[in-house]
Amino acid sequence: MNFNINKIITSNGHLSDEGISYCAEQLIEGNYEDLPEELLSHIEECHKCKKNIFAAYDNLSKPSGLVDTEDKTKAKFPVFRSNVFKIAAAIIILFGLFVLIQVSIKNSDNKLSGNQKPAEQFSDDTVNNTQQKTDVEDDIASSDILAEDEVNAERDLDEQKTYLTDHFTPSEKFEAFVNATFRDDNDFELVKPEKTQEFKINDNIEFKWKTNITEPLTLIFYNNSGKEIFRSSQISKTSYTLNQSFSPGLYYYKLETEENILFFGKALFKN
């Protein structure tokens, strides 16, 4: 099957159902490593796509009508490991071999000399060997800590990417309202803030407008998924200060009367 990878990557940056099924089939047939390098790189970096491929692999490889009792961990799914782990492991092995060679050479020299070492010297050698063993163990422990820190850093980066995707992606439904005209400018004109403006998460937002409308206004804020998170009603003046802390993300707001929408804008909150 030949295809352009861009055609199986959806707008949210993940593989489509077709792409996930195809990768799972190649995994079952043992041809996974023959997938295009660009596709393999995407799967290695995207935990969600990797998880979906594994689930599809599980479903496709399960005999029809049978209960799945096989340990899922036995599936021959490629292991994605960082080059950092391989380098760290190689350094540990080489260091251990170096220490063993040095100890072996020293012991061989002692046997060839034919001289009996005093008990105190044997004791010193034992202390040195013990210290060398301790040093190797400390190096191994340090390497394990570095590897764990690397894994944690990668996980934090993935979580950050997921957060940005979930909280800063524009809403197709609301974007159309932002550029819409609801009332004649003679009826309502927003002076502050701008239609699209960036704020700090703890900023107080000052709203000012000009209007000949005498009805009380309502200010409503939504997050980018369409959930209402703030509402203030019965605003009878031509200004309003919003004292509300927001989490980082993209938000939409509107000013309206009981019967009509007067203005629709959006605000970006960052740390």
Q: Which two tokens stand for residue 247?
A: 């989490």
Which helix (H) or strand (E) segment holds residue 269: the answer is: strand 261-270
Q: Please determine, for residue 155, whether its predicted confidence score (pLDDT) is greater than 90.
A: no
Contact 199, 244 (CB under 8 A): no
**What residue spans define the domains of the chain?**
5-74, 83-168, 172-270
Contact 252, 264 (CB under 8 A): yes
Q: Please determine, for residue 216, whether its predicted confidence score (pLDDT) is greater than 90.
A: yes
pLDDT at 81: 43
Q: Which two tokens stand for residue 169?
A: 């992606």
**Angle at the Cα of 195 (from 190 to 200), degrees rounded to 5?**
110
Q: Does domain 172-270 have CATH number 3.30.70.260?
A: no
Q: Which two tokens stand for residue 17?
A: 């159902």
Strands 196-200 and 261-270, sheet pairing = parallel
**How far apart are the C-alpha atoms of 135 and 138, rounded to whole Å?**
5
Q: Please determine, for residue 118, whether its predicted confidence score (pLDDT) is greater than 60.
A: no
pLDDT at 70: 45
Strand ranges inside 134-247, DSSP E? 188-192, 196-200, 205-211, 217-223, 228-235, 239-242
CB atoms near residue 116 (< 10 Å): 9
Contact 215, 236 (CB under 8 A): no
| Residue listed under structure tokens 């799914």 | 77
Q: Tell me what percent of the residues of the chain surpass a pLDDT of 90.
A: 25
42-93, pLDDT tens digit by residue? 888 888 888 888 888 888 876 654 444 444 444 444 544 445 556 767 788 8
Q: Please determine, for residue 167, whether its predicted confidence score (pLDDT) is greater than 70.
A: yes
Contact 23, 39 (CB under 8 A): yes
* pTM of the predicted model as reported, rounded to 2 decimal places: 0.43
Most confident of 59-63, 107-111, 192-196: 192-196
171-189, pLDDT tens digit by residue? 988 988 886 767 666 688 9
